[in-house]
Amino acid sequence: MIGLTNIEKRFGDNLVLKGVTVAIEEGSVTALVGPSGGGKSTLLRCINLLEIPTSGTVRIGDETLEFRPGIKVATRDIRRLRLQTGMVFQNFQLFPHRTAIENVMEGLVTVLKWPVERARERAMALLEKVGMAHKADAWPATLSGGQQQRVAIARALAPSPKVLLCDEPTSALDPELAQEVVDVLGQLASEGTTMVMATHDLRLASKIAQEVVFLDAGVVVEKGPASVVFSTPEHQRTKRFIATLKQEAGESQ
């Protein structure tokens, strides 16, 4: 469903991703984990082309784009692939001058040209799904971080993307507010939403993800079922990292 093949990403002379190949099945949840600077967020952003790969191939459903050094990809092709995805950012990135429901409606009206009333119905249904219908007319500044992130999830789901991408969706939240977001993402996972998330949150990854990809220094060190990678990882580097995550999770409780 999603195929990343030999993805390389350079920032100047810095090679951040080194030939990463990952396949993600429709209806599955995949967690990208690894130390800071390991490449997980960059890889996530290469899926929806917020970062343009230096080389390699990105496939989402029937849309495929190939990247080569020095060859510019057409903007219309980037947009066509990006429309297959919804993105949830670490710091919510809601429009401060739009209410919760207006934030969810914005892309439907301005990008997809939906009629306002149809967009409003869709937005309200999604706010209800994430437990935020009672805050539909609230301004982002009046919402807690967990509430803002739940609105951001509704906004990302609005155009019915093939895959929901989450970049550290709980890292800006304290544990109690993070649990609200974990619960919402867990509900979406149980409904068969295809998700890829870059995260340090062991509670999030272990509860929701079926597959785990562990990246370090721009390469895939280990990948496999979450139950296996989190309990009996093969590689020493993975073992050390998982042990650190478990220690951090214990300290935060």
- What is the 3-class SS of 71-103, one letter each residue? CCCCHHHHHHHHCCEEEECCCCCCCCCCCHHHH
Question: DSSP letter string over 12-48?
Answer: TTEEEEEEEEEEE-TT-EEEEE-STTSSHHHHHHHHT
- Phi first, then psi: what are they for 195, rounded to 5°? -135, 145
Could you identify the residue written with the tokens 């990302």? 156
Q: Contact at 8 Å (CB) between 45 and 148? A: no
Cα 162 from Cα 194, distance rounded (Å): 7
116-129 and 100-110 helices, crossing angle to 10°: 130
Q: Contact at 8 Å (CB) between 155 and 122? A: no
Average pLDDT rounded to a whole number, residues 58-64: 92
Q: How confident is the model at residue 70 (pLDDT cuts 50, 70, 90)?
A: confident
**pLDDT the model gives residue 253:** 58
Cα 88 from Cα 110, distance rounded (Å): 19
| Domain 2-84+165-252 of CATH type 3.40.50.300 | yes
Q: Contact at 8 Å (CB) between 164 and 88? A: yes
Listed residue (190, 122, 163, 161) closest to 32, CA to CA: 163
The alpha carbon dihedral of 172, 134, 103, 164 has a sign of positive
Q: Contact at 8 Å (CB) between 96 and 140? A: yes
- Which residues sit opposite 5 in a β-bridge? 57
Q: Say what percent of the chain tops pLDDT 90.
A: 81
Residue type, 128: E
Tens of pLDDT, residues 4-56 = 999 999 999 999 999 999 999 999 999 999 998 899 999 999 999 999 999 99
Listed residue (222, 224, 192) closest to 208, CA to CA: 192
Sorted by where each begins, the domain ranges of the chain are 2-84+165-252, 92-160
The pair of structure tokens assigned to 100 is 């919760």
Check pLDDT > 90 for residue 154: yes
Could you identify the residue written with the tokens 């670490």? 90
Tell me the pTM: 0.93
Q: Order the strands of the 219-225 sheet from edge to edge.
A: 85-88, 163-167, 195-198, 29-33, 211-216, 219-225
Q: Say what percent of the chain tops pLDDT 70.
A: 98
